[in-house]
Amino acid sequence: MLERLDTVDWAGLTHAYGYATDVPDQIRFLRSFDPDVRAKSLGELYGNVFHQGTRYEASAHVVPFLLELLTDPATPDRSAILGLLASLAVGYGEEYLPAGYPVAEHRAAAAGGDELLAAGRAYTDDEEEEEDEEDEDDDGDWVDEPALFTYMQTLDPADDNRLGAYIALAAYDAVRAGLPLILPLITDADAGTRTAAAHVLAWFPEAATDSLPVLVSGAADPDPAAAATALVAIGLLGSTGAETVLETALDDPRDVVRWGAAIGLARIRAEEAGPRVAAELHGWVGRDGAPHASIPFLDGDLRGYAARSLPSLGDTYADDSFAVLLDRLPKVSGIEALPVAEMALHMAFPDPPLPTGTPFAALDERQRRLVRVLADSPGTWRIDGVTFGNFTMLVNGHGLPRDPESMARYIAGTTVT
């Protein structure tokens, strides 16, 4: 196990904090008997090769060894390793819900990135060639700054994005190459591993031919979280050939499984999803309760995922969907409020932002209803009692006031956006 780990030139590869010399031990420690050691190593790996969602040069090189760990049933916390693989593949997956991963767009965005990476690795700053390029690490020690990092500072935004897309795509393709090792985990003895494996498969539409039969079998999993995750994955892969499985799951006695079926059918059928799917999604948006931590999508916020799926249902259910969202908004706050508000704003203000100076009286009925709810729901704007910046930016990004008090003044006509 991991016998090839030291054959990789980690000292020549970069991660978020410089050269990746610390990565081999972090991978090894994922097999530790001590859960605290494993958790520390996993956290360090996230920080190094998935720092705030960014993939780095070393990220793709980590993937084969994570896959190797998965092949041994004795490896602890394999579901956590699968979670890291999903993150390395697509970044923050919630960005791509409910539509699925746009891999064709990613490949187009990465075109030419290989040449930029090669140039970065060979880069020399002519003006400072005689000087040491140094930076300070987390321990206060001074270390040589990688040439790639210096080179990236010289790039214009377009080339910087192209290089970043290429590096991220390398990690994505490294995980895709390992899918044959992940597919068998759908039948693993551990329910968490089965669930996490289905979650990984959801992000690879180019491999749908191989993944779908496995996910269809996973949809019959006795564990409700595993079954629901497989159903959502089927939908994200966009397979119309598995609709019968999704339809059957709408009759499942387990509510979480019905949720997964409705999410999958809304993704595949969109406006043709039908009243049962609409009713299931509407019911979930209005539910109270804690997130379902055992389901990886959107960190287990099944209500938020249902809210994100409502616009897919189209005009037939638009009024009912909007009413459900408005009813839910005053009851949520913090992270949980974001998908609800995002979809309500999308349905009321489809072409943001609102032009500066637009008076409240000029808004249509749906827009006025939403603005009133936002003004009357100060708790929705907060997280842990403090104004939530992400929520403020979401609302203001549609041309609306930045807080409920300003929103109330806007309604009264004393100020304009």
Q: How far apart are CA 271 and CA 262, in angstroms?
A: 13
Q: How far apart are CA 327 and CA 227, in angstroms?
A: 30
Q: What is the model's pLDDT at position 125? A: 67
Q: How far apart are CA 344 and CA 323, in angstroms?
A: 9
Q: What is the model's pLDDT at position 130? A: 45
| Cα separation values, 81 from 45, 63, 77, 196, 207, Å | 10, 10, 7, 9, 21
Domain segments of the chain as ranges = 1-177, 331-417
Q: What is the model's pLDDT at position 414? A: 73
Q: What is the model's pLDDT at position 240? A: 75
What pTM value is reported for the model?
Answer: 0.92
Q: What is the DSSP string of 253-285?
A: SSHHHHHHHHHHHHHHHGGGS-HHHHHHHHHHH
User: What amino acid occupies position 97?
Assistant: L
Give CA angle at 112 (110, 115), nearest 5°.
125
Give CA angle at 83 (82, 84), nearest 5°.
90
Peptide bond into 330 cis (omega under 30): no
Place of tokens 């190797």: 68
Q: What is the model's pLDDT at position 142? A: 38
Q: What is the DSSP string of 327-352?
A: HHGGG--GGGHHHHHHHHHHHH-SSP
Do residues 228 and 216 make contact, with C-beta atoms less than 8 angstroms apart?
Answer: no
Q: How far apart are CA 124 and CA 209, in angstroms?
A: 46
Mean pLDDT per 10-residue interval, the chain, length 417 residues: 93 95 97 96 97 96 98 96 98 96 98 96 67 49 74 96 98 98 97 98 97 96 98 92 94 98 97 97 94 95 97 95 97 95 95 89 96 97 94 95 95 74
CA distance between the termini of the chain: 61
Q: What is the model's pLDDT at position 367? A: 96
